[in-house]
Amino acid sequence: MRAAVIVFPGSNCDRDLAVAFEQAGFSVEMVWHKDAALPDGIDIVGVPGGFSYGDYLRCGAIAAQSPICKALAAHTERGGYAVGICNGFQVLTETGILPGALLRNAGLKYICRTIGLKVETSDSAFTEGYNAGDVIDIPIAHHDGNYFADDETLAELRDQDRIAFTYAENPNGSRDDIAGILSHNRRVLGMMPHPERAADSGHGGTDGTALFRALAGVLAPA
Amino acid sequence: MKARVHVMLKNGVLDPQGEAVRHALGALGFDQVEGVRQGKVIDLELTEGATEADVTRMCEKLLANTVIERFEIELL
């Protein structure tokens, strides 16, 4: 099983994400934003948190135009798996791989704390290690995590069971308390909270481990 | 040739920064203000022959996120 983690200038959760993948049994290749292609045989691409390109223009906007993101879009169009966490989620919405956008937090403050995250569906490679309705403890660390989508898109996400996670208590003004969503084919997950920061006993919590283990279970060679 | 692009959040999209400015103006005693929306102004210096249609494409592709923002182009 091979995972690629994209590194942008300003990424700062790339190594944490790589470690979380490795602990679940993946071999990991770090991929630079200027690379125009992903390594062959990659099972999943991780788009990490951080402040790609200093969050200039809009969070994730410049990263979304980078050469590697064209390769990422082609990978997801082929049905490849991807997960974008925090800034990675912002990049996935800016590329149009996932619908909606992340606005400035309603309270205007950067929020960095562990929150209760409710698992809305266990029907995905990312969430099948949880039960729908579980509330897990996962850190958030963002200034622009306020999920916005129009009414039509929200209805579609609900009807297709594509809301992966919601906040038990909405910290940032996200519509419908949304913290993470899935693509049409359920193979791309974008989420603001950081499961890779709750994936080792040294982190003070391990509720994120099940996400990476479930992925490893699905992507392990049959 | 120059163009000025105004990027604003769409109506109906919450603008927390605009709201904070409105509160601050109120706190300063400016009770004439009912609402504030904050946006961006981007000035482009263009090569000869560039058209408004070119700038529109720049807006749609990068300068604005049309999921949440609208834009207006002013040719200077």
Q: What is the pLDDT of residues A164-187, one digit of tens each?
A: 999 999 999 999 999 999 999 999
Q: DSSP states of A24-45 as a string? A: TT-EEEEEETT-SSPPTT-SEE
Tell me the residues of chain A between 12 and 71 that have a Cβ less than 8 Å away from chain B.
Answer: 57-58, 61, 65
Pick the CATH number of A2-219 from 2.130.10.10, 3.40.50.880, 1.10.1740.10, 3.30.365.10: 3.40.50.880
Nearest alpha-carbon partner for A68 in A50, A51, A52: A52
pLDDT single digits (tens) A140-161: 999 999 999 999 999 999 999 9
List chain A domain ranges: 2-219
Q: Would the CB atoms of B17 and A104 count as touching at under 8 Å?
A: yes
CB distance A105 to A144 below 8 Å: yes
How close are the terminal C-alpha atoms of chain A, in Å? Answer: 11
Query: Active-site positions of A?
Result: 86, 194, 196
- DSSP state, residue A116: E
pLDDT of residue A149: 97
Q: Would the CB atoms of A173 and B65 count as touching at under 8 Å?
A: no
pLDDT single digits (tens) B19-69: 999 999 999 999 999 999 999 999 999 999 999 999 999 999 999 999 999
**Rounded mean pLDDT of B9-23?**
92
Q: Is some CB atom of chain A closer than 8 A to the CB atom of B33? A: no
Query: What is the number of CB-based contacts under 8 A between chain A and chain B?
Result: 38
Global pTM value: 0.94
Q: Best of B41, B58, B59, B67 to disrupt the A interface by mutation (most A CBs within 10 Å)?
A: B67
User: Which chain A positions have a beta carbon within 8 Å of B61's beta carbon?
Assistant: 65
Between CA A5 and CA A153 the distance in angstroms is: 29
Q: Would the CB atoms of B63 and A99 count as touching at under 8 Å?
A: no
- In three state form, how does the secondary structure of A129-169 look? CCCCCCEEEEEEEECCCEEECCHHHHHHHHHCCCEEEEECC
Between CA A158 and CA A182 the distance in angstroms is: 11
Q: Which residues pair with A188 in a beta bridge?
A: A82
Between CA A145 and CA A149 the distance in angstroms is: 12
Q: Is some CB atom of chain A closer than 8 A to the CB atom of B27? A: no
Q: Is some CB atom of chain A closer than 8 A to the CB atom of B66? A: no
Q: Is some CB atom of chain A closer than 8 A to the CB atom of B68? A: yes
Q: Please state the ipTM of this predicted complex.
A: 0.86
CATH superfamily of domain region B2-75 = Phosphoribosylformylglycinamidine synthase subunit PurS (3.30.1280.10)
List chain B domain ranges: 2-75
Q: Best of A53, A56, A57, A154 to disrupt the B interface by mutation (most B CBs within 10 Å)?
A: A57
How close are the terminal C-alpha atoms of chain B, in Å? Answer: 7
CA angle A161, A70, A77 (to 5 degrees): 40
Residues of chain A falling short of pLDDT 50: none
pLDDT of residue A222: 54
The alpha carbon of residue A101 is apart from the nearest alpha carbon of chain B, in Å, by: 7
